[in-house]
Amino acid sequence: MSIGVIYKNLLDEDFKVLSALERVLLNREYAPIQLLEKNTGIHEEKLVLILRKLHGLKLVKKETIMGEKCFRLTFLGYDMLAIKALARANIIEAIGDKIGVGKESDIYIGLAPGGLQVAVKFLRIGRTSFRQTKRVRVWTRGKIADWYQQSKICAEREFKALQALHKVGALVPKPMGFNRHVVVIEFIDGLELYERPNLENPLGVLSKILETISIAYHKAQIVHGDLSEYNILVRREDETPFIIDWPQYVYRDDPSAPELLKRDVFYVVRFFNRVYRLSVNPQESLNSVLNWKETLNY
């Protein structure tokens, strides 16, 4: 069952229980029924029915601890709370199919009020190996509560980075809002660079990418740090390249920034040289990024 269908199945009382479970997560993983009864004010018999429904929809996990039936929220349960909050804030109106799976996220198409298409990114930090994420995250106990916490931190980081970048004219999808571990951004109808789209003007596309790297570095003071053909979307209608996937960014004054900037630039330039048969010098491109000045149009 898709996320959107599950969401439509939920009643206010279901959300009440999910919210109570979320609050419980702050200090313990599993909540016994008695505690939920107290926190929701819902009578035990009714609560049992609601929990059975939520369990059937895989929004909660069940465990018997010391003879007591206990429950905790799953990632999917947490997704429902985020969608509800985003809908209540008028950031999204509906949620549709999955359109992408990344290293650490699932992306769904959504609709914003007014019919605008948006990409809804559910961060899933900790789903994959720890190795890929060690640069920016501190791992402690590896419990589900920590996963939630890490995913939330990343969603907020990504939203704020996109906001700062979009404001200064970098080619990034416009951020629309975030809640918990979910970020809502403008949907880009395009192909990822790894799909090797046919480009009319590959040098022009590369220049725009380098321009966005420069704007990010000089005007927003940030370095992407994970740039590759998987994090660049080329819009179908006009070949505009958008750089996506920012949660691991570092500030320009971070000790690792020079190395990451060099890695990002060299990686992209070499990709274009190889795939689109250009012969752009990566070191010269890096120099031009470092010495970039905004051209003023009078």
Ligand X SMILES: Nc1ncnc2c1ncn2[C@@H]1O[C@H](COP(=O)(O)OP(=O)(O)O)[C@@H](O)[C@H]1O
> How many chain residues touch Mg ion (CB under 5 A)?
3
Give the count of alpha carbons within 13 A of 257, CB side only.
15
Q: Which residue sits closest to ligand X, CB atoms considered? A: 102
Cα separation, 266 vs 285, whole angstroms: 8
**Least CB distance to ligand X at residue 283 (A):** 27
Please give the radius of gyration of the chain, using alpha carbons only, rounded to the nearest integer.
Answer: 22
> How many chain residues touch ligand X (CB under 6 A)?
20
* Nearest C-alpha neighbor of 73 from the set 8, 153, 14, 129: 14
Residue 186 bridge partners (DSSP): 118
Per this entry, what is the length of the chain? 298
Nearest 5°: the CA angle 296, 261, 135 is 135
Cα separation, 18 vs 60, whole angstroms: 8
Orientation of helix 257-275 relative to helix 202-218, angle to 10°: 170
Q: Is residue 177 a contact point for ligand X (CB under 6 A)?
A: no
Binding mask 72-101 for ligand X (x = CB under 6 A): ---------------------------xx-
Stretch that binds Mg ion, among 83-91, 99-107, 168-176, 274-282 (CB under 5 A): 99-107
Q: Which CB, 174 or 218, lies closer to ligand X?
A: 174
Question: Mind telling me the catalytic residues?
Answer: 226
Q: CB of 186 within 8 A of CB of 170?
A: no
**Least CB distance to ligand X at residue 105 (A):** 3
Q: Is residue 133 a contact point for Mg ion (CB under 5 A)?
A: no
In the three-class reduction of DSSP (H, G, I as helix; E, B as strand; rest coil), residue 176 is classed as: strand
Cα separation, 282 vs 109, whole angstroms: 36
Stretch that binds Mg ion, among 8-16, 45-53, 156-164, 228-236 (CB under 5 A): 228-236
Q: How many CB atoms lie within 10 A of CB 70?
A: 21
Q: Is residue 107 a contact point for ligand X (CB under 6 A)?
A: yes
DSSP-H helix ranges across 219-281: 257-275
**Least CB distance to ligand X at residue 216 (A):** 16
Q: Is residue 185 a contact point for ligand X (CB under 6 A)?
A: yes
Q: Is residue 267 a contact point for ligand X (CB under 6 A)?
A: no
Cα separation, 48 vs 44, whole angstroms: 6
Q: Residues 14, 79, 245, 264: which binds ligand X (CB under 6 A)?
A: 245
Binding mask 231-260 for Mg ion (x = CB under 5 A): x-------------x---------------
Q: Residues 4, 102, 177, 197: which binds Mg ion (CB under 5 A)?
A: 102
Binding residues for ligand X, per CB under 6 A? 99-100, 102-105, 107, 119, 121, 173, 185-188, 192, 230-231, 233, 244-245
Binding residues for Mg ion, per CB under 5 A? 102, 231, 245
